[in-house]
Amino acid sequence: MGIQLFKASFNVEACLAQVRECLEKGWTGMGFKTVEFEEEWKKYTGHKYAYFINSNTAGLYMAVDTLKELYGWEDDDEIISTPLTFISTNHAITKSNLKAVFADVDDTLCLDPKSVEEHITDKTRAVIFVGFGGNTGKFKEVVKTCKERGLKLILDAAHMSGTRYKDGSVPGTNGDADIIVYSYQAVKNLPTGDSGCICTDDAKLDEIFRKKAWLGINKDTYARTVSAGGTYKWKYDVEYAGDKYNGNAIMAGIALAQLPYLDRDNAYRRTLAQWYTEAFSKYPGQISLVKIPDDCVTAQHLFQIMVKDRDGLMMYLNGNDIYPGVHYIANTDYCMYEYGKGTCPKADFASAHIISLPIHMGVTFEDVQYITGIVVKYIMEIRKGESYK
């Protein structure tokens, strides 16, 4: 199969034990393991509230929708976001009848705080900051801007499970973000089949999320089972036209089995990144690396380089049984968001030149040497050492 971009690594016996417990108990839906995981995730991150849901996408949709409703935002009010992200980020804005306004990225591939400032108008209500590849970028500067300008801040932490600052704190804690949304999708650093978590320090937001994710019902099935005292289990009210975004015990059980290994696995990802960096740093004019801030201990979900002929390199790697990826095509290249095309030149450049190289627990030192050797051969011999610019 060659060397794949992603390959999830599971502690199979621990996962099976969690799933077996769910099956033996006869409880595979929300509650039981989902509640247990929420408590463990709060301990791990320091977030005050955490709600286990079925995907990061669901969490982003709920985050924007809830803030709009709670604070009385009007249709066509604006949220500043990045074009360099998976489409879920910006769809969350559009689905709530708000407008995504695209700010540019910096050399971390996260939002550039200066560009954010330049795009604030009297219709701006919030910023969505994407921790690209597990990177914190200049998140603290964006936090400062949002607090000074009275804007809400959503942290799309899909790539950030395990990312910390060097002081041990987790981005988004201590009130730095209003809402933080994680992904435990199949190839993420904390992999399940598909699931996520929406976190906040605001008890009111957490209460609303739990209702909206369960069709707007104000008492979920687990709560009706464990707290009803045997009476009126069937009686509840419906407060919102909600969705079906809740997580389930099977996925939560797998997340619980994987969580003890997250820091270890992330450390290995950083080691892989270091091996790649050591090889590519010899070619600064031909290969550009994504900057990681000095105070960031990244989850390193991605390792990326920028080269002149990205598509040609992709094909060459494929021909040598290496299967990289692209993260991401700028969202402004899609017809839905083409109104922003040409407004973010740094994001556009990255979109046209970036390539994500294999980074997972199955990649070895020897694999990295092989991959970097093939990349260097293509750039230095086939492309004659052309500059990535």
Per-residue model confidence as pLDDT tens digits over 87-143: 999 999 999 999 999 999 999 999 999 999 999 999 999 999 999 999 999 999 999
| Whole-number Å distance between alpha carbons of 216 and 218 | 6
Give the pLDDT confidence score for residue 236 in this predicted structure.
86
Residues of the chain with CATH 3.90.1150.10: 263-382
For the domain with range 3-260, which CATH number is right: 3.30.300.20, 3.90.230.10, 3.30.360.10, 3.40.640.10? Answer: 3.40.640.10
Neighbours of 298 (CB within 10 A): 24
**Angular region, 38: left φ>0, alpha ψ -120 to 50, beta rest:** alpha
Any idea which of 12-21, 39-48, 118-127, 228-237 has the lowest mean pLDDT?
A: 228-237
| Whole-number Å distance between alpha carbons of 84 and 348 | 8
Q: What is the pTM of this model?
A: 0.96
CATH of domain 263-382: 3.90.1150.10
Residue 145 three-state SS: helix
**Helix ranges, the chain (H):** 12-25, 33-45, 56-71, 88-94, 113-118, 139-149, 203-212, 221-227, 249-258, 262-280, 310-319, 345-353, 365-377
Per-residue model confidence as pLDDT tens digits over 238-284: 999 999 999 999 999 999 999 999 999 999 999 999 999 999 999 99
pLDDT beyond 80 at 229: no
Binning the chain into helix, strand and coil, the percentages to the nearest 5 are: 40, 15, 40
pLDDT beyond 90 at 230: no
Kindly state the average pLDDT of the residues 20-28. Answer: 96
| Whole-number Å distance between alpha carbons of 309 and 327 | 16
Per-residue model confidence as pLDDT tens digits over 30-59: 999 999 999 999 999 999 999 999 999 999
59 in Cβ contact with 53 (< 8 Å): yes
Give the pLDDT confidence score for residue 232 in this predicted structure.
52
Kindly state the average pLDDT of the residues 158-184. Answer: 98
pLDDT beyond 90 at 235: no
Residues of the chain with CATH 3.40.640.10: 3-260
Query: How many helices and strands (H and E) does the chain possess?
Result: 13, 14
Q: In the structure, what pLDDT confidence band is assigned to residue 149 with cuts at 50, 70 and 90?
A: very high
Mean pLDDT, all residues of the chain: 96
